[in-house]
Structure formats: C-alpha cells, structure tokens
Structure 1
Amino acid sequence: MTAEKSASCSSRDVTGSISMMKPLELRHAIRSGNHRGTTTGYSAGYLQGNLAIIPQKDAADFLSFCMKNPKPCPLIGVSEPGSPYIPALGADLDIRTDLSGYRVFRGSRDYQSVTDLNAVWRDDLVTFVLGCSFSFEAAITSAGIPLHHIDAGRNVPMYVTNIETSPAGRFHGPLVVSMRAFRPSDAIRAVLYSDRYRLAHGAPVHLGDPSAIGIADIGKPDFGDEPVLNDGDIPVFWACGVTPQMAIRNAQPDLAITHEPGLMLVTDVLAEAAEFTLHATQTA
C-alpha cells in the first residue's frame, strides 16, 4: 500500500503557545481554515477522537464492530441520526466543520478529500467518535520522555498490520497501528503511562520487530509521516483509530466519512478523567 500522507501542518512551533490552545479555540481555528494540519501536540491533556460517519441502516453493524474490537475502536461518542453535534464531547462542536480534513467514501474504496462536510451531510448519518492515542501523549512528554514526531513537527506514522480484526456484518479488515520509538528505559515508562488511558487505546499491542506484525519497511508508513528513529530506539506500536477506515473500505456503504489520518476531533473532555466524565454524562 502506498503511504498516505497527512495534510500539511500549519506553521507552528509545537513547543510554543499554540500547542496550549484550548480545544474550543483550536476547533474555531480549524473551522475558519486557520489550521489545516495534524492535531498531535495540540490542546495537551484533552481527549482527541477518530471519526467514522455511517448511514443509519449500517450503524448497528458498525457499532457491533466497535464492541468486538475495543482496542482500536474505543467508543467515546455517538450522535443522534442526522445530528452533527455530540454535546457530551464539547460546547460549540460541529462534526461538519471542526476537523482539518475528511475522507468521503461513496460505495467504493476510493475517497474524496474535503475540508468540511456541509455539501455532503445527510439526515440519516450517524457519527461515531473513537478515542485517539494523541490523547496520552501529554502524559508521556510531561514525564520528560521525548516523542520524536512531535519534536520534528510531524504526524505520527501509521501502518497496516497482518492482524485481523473481529468482523461484524460487512465490516472487517486488518488492524492499523501507530508507532512511537523510544530508548528502552523510556519505552517501559511510555507503556505504563499509556495504559492509564483506556479510551485512547491504552497499552500498546506490540513492541520491537515490526515484521512480526506484517510491517515490511518501518521507514514507509501507510499513513502519516516518515518515522524518526534514533540508534538504539525500540519501536512501540499502539492500536490505531484508522482501523475502522479499513473496515469501511471493505464494507463499502453508499456513503461513509472518516477523518484524514492524524487530523482529529479535539474534544473538551480531559483525557485523564475521560472514562468517568463520559460515563457520568451518558448515565445522567
């Protein structure tokens, strides 16, 4: 598979003030077209989400796919049919405009890249938001562990593996993983920090030899940007929310929409308290 790069980043210093923008500010910057790049390194400490939008007639099967594959598909929000809003995830949050880039599939594996969904929105669409590993990156960097892709101003590299997900209806496909490389001592700590964030994929699914999970060339990711690997680094692989995109490509509903890999929905939910906050909201 040819590597699919993310949209280019807006000019920024990821260690500067823009990375500390609150989620609402960032969503407004995206909505106005002032930010068109990856969201890694932005709104540190807040839950970010992958996007999958499916016609209502296919929503039950897709929900079942998420339930059967909680590691790559940790569900953090579902909309009402036709609604572009999920109030539990944020004030003034509009699914149609608040991501930097979308992929629109129309009954095939091919897609159209768009910057908003106003022209394609339908009243039968159900939005699923799935947790993203960007959400635990602040915990790792706050502990003094460097993340090479953030330091380099890049999107995280993502790879299609030889690990199959559990199918549900027409939805099936391989697991996709994101990769971050660390010194051995830092890798152990990164595993422990990420495990606290179960709605952001939790602990990794693999460490070490990429060929063991079907990655032939770690220097050529299927999505995102080329990795930064230093001598002695251990590659660590987390389940990735691009996994449902592979299942959608196989299912080929008449219309489906996903995010561009690495261009996430940034919510108002604090990542550290996400499980409690979202559970309380859903049961209130």
Structure 2
Amino acid sequence: MTITYESLKDSTVVSLRHAIRRGEYTSHTAGLGTGMLQANLAIMPQSHALDFMRFCQRNPKPCPLSGVSDTGNPMMFTLGADIDIRTDVPSYNIYRDGVLDRTVTDICDLWQDDFVAFALGCSFTFENALQQAGIPLWHIEHNKTVPMFRSGIETVPAGPFSGKMVVSMRMMPEDRVAHAVEISRKYPLAHGAPVHFGDPTDIGISDLNRPDWGDAAPVHEGHVPVFWACGVTPQVAIEAAGLPLCITHQPGNMLITDVSEFAEIPNYQSNTVFRGEQQ
C-alpha cells in the first residue's frame, strides 16, 4: 500500500516513521514532522568513523552532528525511542568505491556489524517556522524537493573526507530575507543562518535552473536566492573518500526524529556567520 504526502502532513512522527518502515512512503519529507528535527544520514565502517566525525566537527554548518550510533547497533536511541536506521528513512543511496551504485528503501540486507551511523541536522527542520512567519516556500507548496547545488565553497578536510560544500536554495521575497536569516539562526542543529544570499555565481553556482539534486524552483521577479549549508555535503565527501561501501539518505528523504526542533548542539558546533555578516 502506498500512502500519499498529503495524507501524512498531520501525522505524528511515530506514525510517519512506521509508514516509512513499512515501505508505504518513499518520498521527500519536507513539511512533515512539524516541530521535530529532521536529519541527514551517513553510514560507514568503524574504521573510517573517527575521520568522518572530525570532518563534521570541522564543518559544523553543513554537518551539524545530532546523533551517532553505537558500532553495529542500528537503533538510534539518542534520537528516539524506536528508530531503526536500516528502515526508517524513505530511501537510501548506496555508494561503492565512492560511486553511487543504487537507491533502495531499506538496508537490512546491507547492514554490517562494524557500521556506525551518523545523523546530521537538516534545514527542513526550520521550514515550518518560515511558513508560520508568512515566508513562502515553493517546494513545499508544490510537493517538490528543495533544489541543492554543489557550491564552490571548500570544506575543511579530515582524513579521506573532503570536497565542496553543498547548499540548498530557497527563493525569498527580497523584503523577507533578513527575517528568514533571523529565524533560521535559531536552529543551529538545522544548519542555522544561510551561508550566502544574492548572486549565485559568488559561490560558484552558474545556473539555478540546473540543481545537482532536487527540483528546479522558478526565479520570480522581486525574489532573492538564499542558500543554506546542506547535509548532502557528506555525500560529496564520501565520493572523494572512495570507501568500499558507504550509505547515505537519498537527498530530500530524511530521518524524522523525536528531538525537538529547538534542541541545542555541543559548543564546538558553533554557528558560523553567513557571508557578509560582521562578526
């Protein structure tokens, strides 16, 4: 049985995860699980987990670490009472030797005793607050996946992990950009304030109509593109690392946790300022 996006909008997070676990919903999670933290995902062997944790610590804007599993244990007990990372994400990307091999809806048959799972906060978390403030979000209103781009912003490498920062883009009415910045700043687990707004070529993006992931959004007159650091950044780093086997979420298809959207992160995950802001 397939469940539609519209029918899940008012569901509890437990009901959402159960529908995902049963394979009844396998699409994007933007606009779902209001009030709760959504998370990106990276799973890899323990032999590379410490380097990846260093990568997250050095790049807190795109990689706000919100949960780490015990080695070999797929239950993310720090993020909820019953979260099985093998089944509770709508779809997963499987990387072999740094190359995307396939996309699946559960990873039970791929789980290994040496796997460590990382959950990284997602900008979907603060979107409800933007909407409550009257700031329109085209991708949610049209049941699309937010556009994501490989930027020209370098991350700080750690071990084999390196690469450009991925950013998610939302078109904002010009007179609402400052408000969007102030709202998102309150969500450090969800990438916090934007890294850039305005001319996309300033951060190495040449064509807003050709996102690397997600759906292209229309560019309306009087609107400004606003870019947030994105949790797909680890997928670029995983490509660079070339690990024999690594698993991530499919971009836009997140883990919905039981953690409040206002949860705080450790002090070392300080919220760096967006470009142009005075420190």
The TM-score normalised by the length of structure 1 is: 0.91
| 2:231 aligned counterpart, secondary structure | coil
Indicate if the aligned counterparts of 1:155 and 1:225 stay in contact, CA closer than 8 A: yes
CA distance in 1, matches of 2:30, 2:167: 16
CA distance in 1, matches of 2:170, 2:250: 19
Indicate if the aligned counterparts of 1:175 and 1:239 stay in contact, CA closer than 8 A: yes
Indicate if the aligned counterparts of 1:23 and 1:268 stay in contact, CA closer than 8 A: yes
The one of 1, 4, 13 equivalent to 1:11 is 4
Alignment of 1:222-261 (within 5 A): 222-261=212-251
Matched, 1:275 2:268: no
- Which stretch of the first structure deviates more once superposed, 80-89 or 236-245? 80-89
Indicate if the aligned counterparts of 1:102 and 1:113 stay in contact, CA closer than 8 A: yes
The one of 181, 190, 193 equivalent to 1:200 is 190
Q: CA deviation at 1:10?
A: 5.9
| 2:78 aligned counterpart, secondary structure | helix
CA distance in 2, matches of 1:132, 1:92: 20
CA distance in 1, matches of 2:41, 2:260: 18
Indicate if the aligned counterparts of 1:158 and 1:223 stay in contact, CA closer than 8 A: yes
Could you list the runs of 5+ residues in structure 1 that have no partner in the other structure? 1-8, 280-284
CA distance in 2, matches of 1:191, 1:45: 19
1:3 aligns with none
Indicate if the aligned counterparts of 1:12 and 1:18 stay in contact, CA closer than 8 A: yes
2:171 aligns with 181
Q: Runs of 4+ in structure 1 displaced over 6 angstroms? A: none
Spell out, residue by residue over 1:77-127, the C-alpha distance to the aligned partner (whole angstroms, 9 max, x if none): 000000101112112110000011101112232321111001100000000
Q: CA deviation at 1:12?
A: 3.2
Letter in 2 for 1:81: T
CA distance in 1, matches of 2:3, 2:202: 35
- Which stretch of the first structure deviates more once superposed, 166-175 or 180-189? 180-189
Matched, 1:46 2:36: yes
CA distance in 1, matches of 2:157, 2:215: 29
Q: CA deviation at 1:47?
A: 0.1
**Structural RMSD (CA):** 1.5
- Which stretch of the first structure deviates more once superposed, 26-35 or 257-266? 26-35
Indicate if the aligned counterparts of 2:91 and 2:249 stay in contact, CA closer than 8 A: yes
The TM-score normalised by the length of structure 2 is: 0.92
Indicate if the aligned counterparts of 2:98 and 2:238 stay in contact, CA closer than 8 A: no
Q: CA deviation at 1:254?
A: 1.6
Report percent identity of matched pairs: 52
Whose helix fraction is larger, Structure 1's or Structure 2's? 1
Indicate if the aligned counterparts of 1:224 and 1:261 stay in contact, CA closer than 8 A: yes
Matched, 1:81 2:71: yes
Letter in 2 for 1:199: L
Spell out, residue by residue over 1:171-212, the C-alpha distance to the aligned partner (whole angstroms, 9 max, x if none): 000000000111112111111100000010000000000111
1:4 aligns with none
Matched, 1:72 2:62: yes
Matched, 1:123 2:123: no
CA distance in 2, matches of 1:206, 1:10: 36
Indicate if the aligned counterparts of 2:93 and 2:100 stay in contact, CA closer than 8 A: no
CA distance in 2, matches of 1:275, 1:178: 22
Matched, 1:60 2:50: yes
CA distance in 1, matches of 2:169, 2:40: 16
CA distance in 2, matches of 1:78, 1:268: 15
Matched, 1:154 2:144: yes
Indicate if the aligned counterparts of 1:181 and 1:187 stay in contact, CA closer than 8 A: no
Alignment size in residue pairs? 266
